[in-house]
């Protein structure tokens, strides 16, 4: 079976063809229109998806040498509703035209399962840390459609904290990669910052953000050292929960996904853990359609009932 995956939940327009043998094509077009605004502008995102979706899908089908896929899988949430509707309308119309089924896919489930696109792939059960601008959640993945949330952020997502620290330092948008780059040049011990871990579980990054703000206002430290201190604190917090759950569950296979999983500091620290770790290549950490096609494929293969075909701005995985 060959599944066309379509992703348009935020500011990437993406299409991919995934088969039981692997990824046949994977096309991502990143919208650059938002950089000037310091953030994603929902209406501009929807317009840009509308402009790019046909060429992106055509390119994915051509690269896979597929005229008509056996099914279409599309992100139905969580995301910006106007952006989601572009991909969903296109997917449904194309599926009707081809006479094939269309499956609504949860973007977070796509991230959770994305390590299965790589070789070696983690065996079930594995732990999956999804870290992005909107989410910071540690899941236990027991199988397709069988997920449990172990920890989640109580306030800011890790990626959001990166973007806000970048803004405090005037590093531009998106700021995460720039903080990561500067952090590599700084001394993580020069700026001591708190490692807040809520007693009841999960993460809380808002206090860390406030602490960074105080440091930046004081103006006594180099931006490289502020970034290094901040990054070390975030990674310590993330890995503290990972280590805690490895010990508690005995599961020694840990994958990361989501935009912050492309962070070099996090990848290096994860790889140094004495367990089996899985970090997809950076292009498969950020938003992509291969993970959406894969999720559609494995759900269809597992005979799982698909969700109703409606756009869901917030849609958690349970």
Partner 1 sequence: MRRDLEDKEATEALGRTIGAALDPGHCVLLVGDLGAGKTTLARGVARALGVTGVVPSPTFALVIEHAGRVPLLHADLYRLESDAPIDDLGLDRDDAIVLIEWPERNLGALPADHLVVALTDAGTGRQAILSATGPRHAALLAALSR
Of residues 288 through 317, those in contact with partner 1 by CB under 8 A are: 313-314
Segment contacting partner 1 by CB under 8 A, of 58-66, 87-95, 127-135, 266-274: 127-135
User: What is the pattern of x (binds partner 1, CB under 8 A) and - over residues 71-90?
Assistant: -------x-xxx--------
Please, what is the minimum distance in Å from the beta carbon of residue 129 to partner 1?
16
For tokens 């993580």, the residue is: 188
What are 192's two structure tokens? 């001591």
CA distance 9 to 135: 14
Hey, what are 131's tokens? 């870290």
Residue 267 CB, nearest distance to partner 1 (Å)?
A: 22
Given 115, 176, 202, 280, the residue binding partner 1 (CB under 8 A): 202
The reply on whether position 209 binds partner 1 by CB under 8 A is yes
Q: Is 258 in the site for partner 1 (CB under 8 A)?
A: no
CB 106 within 8 A of CB 139: no
Bridge partners of residue 17, in order along the sequence: 4, 25
Contact 279, 271 (CB under 8 A): yes
Give the footprint of partner 1 on residues 142-161 (CB under 8 A). 152-157, 159-160
Of 121-129, 164-172, 261-269, 281-289, the window that binds partner 1 (rule: CB under 8 A) is 164-172
136: buried, middle or exposed (CB in 10 Å: 19+, 13-18, 0-12)?
buried
- Binding of residue 220 to partner 1 (CB under 8 A): no
> Which residues does 244 contact at the CB level (< 8 Å), separation at least 6?
none
Q: How many helices (H) and strands (E) does the chain have?
A: 10, 10
How many residues touch partner 1 (CB under 8 A)? 35
| Binding-site ranges for partner 1 (CB under 8 A) | 37-43, 78, 80-82, 132-135, 152-157, 159-160, 164, 167-168, 202, 206-207, 209-210, 212-213, 313-314
């Amino acid at each position: 079976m060959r599944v066309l995956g379509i992703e348009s939940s935020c500011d990437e327009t993406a299409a991919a063809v995934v088969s039981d043998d692997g990824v046949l094509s994977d096309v991502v077009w990143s919208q650059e229109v938002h950089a000037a605004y310091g953030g994603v502008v929902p209406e501009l995102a929807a317009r840009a998806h509308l402009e790019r979706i046909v060429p992106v899908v055509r390119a994915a089908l051509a690269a896979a040498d597929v005229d008509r896929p056996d099914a279409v899988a599309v992100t139905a949430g969580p995301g910006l509703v106007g952006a989601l509707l572009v991909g969903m309308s296109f997917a449904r119309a194309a599926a009707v035209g081809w006479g094939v089924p269309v499956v609504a896919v949860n973007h977070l489930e796509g991230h959770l399962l994305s390590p299965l696109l790589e070789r070696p792939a983690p065996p079930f059960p594995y732990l999956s840390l999804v870290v992005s601008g909107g989410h910071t959640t540690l899941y236990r993945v027991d199988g397709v459609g069988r997920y449990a949330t172990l920890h989640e952020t109580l306030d800011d997502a890790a990626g959001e904290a990166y973007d806000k620290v970048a803004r405090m330092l005037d590093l531009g948008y998106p700021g995460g990669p720039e903080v990561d780059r500067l952090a590599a040049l700084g001394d993580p011990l020069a700026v001591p910052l708190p490692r807040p871990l809520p007693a009841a579980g999960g993460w809380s990054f808002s206090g860390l953000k406030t602490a960074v703000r105080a440091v930046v206002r004081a103006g006594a430290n180099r931006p490289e050292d502020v970034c290094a201190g901040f990054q070390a604190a975030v990674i310590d917090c993330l890995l503290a929960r990972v280590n805690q759950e490895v010990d508690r569950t005995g599961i020694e296979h840990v994958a990361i996904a989501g935009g912050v999983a492309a962070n070099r500091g996090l990848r290096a620290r994860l790889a140094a853990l004495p367990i089996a770790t899985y970090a997809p290549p950076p292009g498969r950490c950020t938003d992509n359609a291969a993970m959406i096609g894969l999720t559609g494929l494995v759900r269809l293969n597992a005979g799982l009932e698909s969700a109703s075909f409606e756009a869901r701005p917030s849609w958690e995985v349970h």
